[in-house]
Structure 1
């Protein structure tokens, strides 16, 4: 058994965008999967507010206000865009609130409203990413975990996705962002951490890390 992550210690404060950057295999996705309860660590602790997340199953973790947009989007094929969004609200009972939040998602992502009756599998990569983010927002998260939201997207979609992440933060949602596009991630992040082979080797504000010689050489082509 290989430990993908070891002795990682970091924090995310309310209202921040925090970026985790690092090469493939550094352990970034494992961290998000552990926070959302999909992976159980052999030791350590994860605290969110008053909650010990290691004592909770994934459904209960969602109930605390955490929502996870996984790497690769993972929209539900065979279901429409509308049905995918409705699944994001599966823990909610407020029908009127769900309808209002669906309207808000369609306002943020107009292309989804145009295609709300299409099978989610027929959307482009960028549209599927928007759907995955919209689905996560339907649970009204306080903390949004984003795993490689720009992966495989055309440059025009990448810029749009990052603008949306900033907008989500401005509307009160805290964001923990994993992203291989280190420059874009650090440009929008309040703070960031650099992960190498399962350990944090550098931290600072987004601006500080952008100026770091080590970060420029390793991740920014400097």
Structure 2
């Protein structure tokens, strides 16, 4: 069943058309990856889904409801969380306070303790550092915190923007294992990632974007095996 459907989406930055009539969908329980070079429009698409940017045209359906003109808070309450590019954890707040910010809009306060425990069991390093200023964490730890914070909103769909950017190889493998684990626990994932081979290796399906348009779509395996994709994105 389609959880998210993007139809003919166009987004402008001033006079520049960053996204030009893009169509794609994400089914419940999938990991779907958008790959493409810098400037292809990937981050713009995620920001538009989460209500940070407003589209110039087209529609975004989430659970069959149009959301392209909704405010970000309503979109989060509806079950979509974003882990932004560059992590954007809150410096000056502790690890625990960052996680509390993720749960800020939740009404089911009684369930929070179990969810903090679940985040700490998934990311044990955060438990060890929960009273530490989040700014003192390493890049990989900050990425885990950003993911934990997004999960505290109890999303049905999590939007991940470049989760491996700037991380050491040991953390990159860990982050991708965590993404697979998030899917296993029942959260649907829309993933944007420069590391196309890693992204496609865990994706059920993928879309290849170039200058605001979708060029190609297929299963993760099909796109990994595609010669054009290998040449353009996988160093083949």
Same fold (TM over 0.5): yes
Give 1:63 shift: 1.0
Residue by residue over 1:55-110, the C-alpha shift from the partner in whole angstroms, topping out at 9 and shown as x without a partner, is: 31000000110000000000001100000001100111323311110000000000
| Mapped pair 1:203 → 2:217 | yes
Structure-2 residue corresponding to 1:114: 128
**Equivalent-residue separation in structure 1 for 2:141 and 2:22 (angstroms):** 33
Contact 2:77 2:106 in 1 (8 A): no
Measure how far apart 1:202 and its partner are: 0.6
Please, which of 90, 100, 108 is the counterpart of residue 76 of structure 1?
A: 90
More RCO (CA 8 Å, sep 6+): 1
Q: What residue is the counterpart of 2:171 in the other structure? A: 157
Greater percentage in strand? 2
Deviations 1:166-215 (A, max 9, x none): 00001100000000000000000000000000000010000000000000
Residue 37 in structure 1 maps to residue 89 in structure 2: no
2:29 corresponding residue in structure 1: 15
CA distance in 1, matches of 2:123, 2:110: 20
2:10 corresponding residue in structure 1:
none
Any unmatched runs of 5+ in structure 1? none
Distance 1:91 1:48 in 2: 19
Is residue 147 from structure 1 mapped to residue 161 from structure 2 by the alignment? yes
CA distance in 1, matches of 2:64, 2:58: 16
Distance 1:99 1:155 in 2: 32
Matched, 1:62 2:62: no
Note the aligned Cα RMSD (angstroms). Answer: 0.6
Q: Number of paired residues?
A: 222
Instruction: Look up the match of 1:91.
Output: 105
Say whether the 8 Å CA contact 2:31–2:190 is kept in structure 1: yes
CA distance in 1 between counterparts of 2:106 and 2:210 reads 38
TM-score, L = length of structure 2: 0.93
Deviation at 1:50, TM superposition (A): 2.9
1:167 equivalenced with 2:167 (yes/no): no
In structure 1, distance between residues paired with 2:144 and 2:110: 23
Deviations 1:137-187 (CA, angstroms, capped at 9, x unpaired): 001000000000000000000000000000000110000000000000000
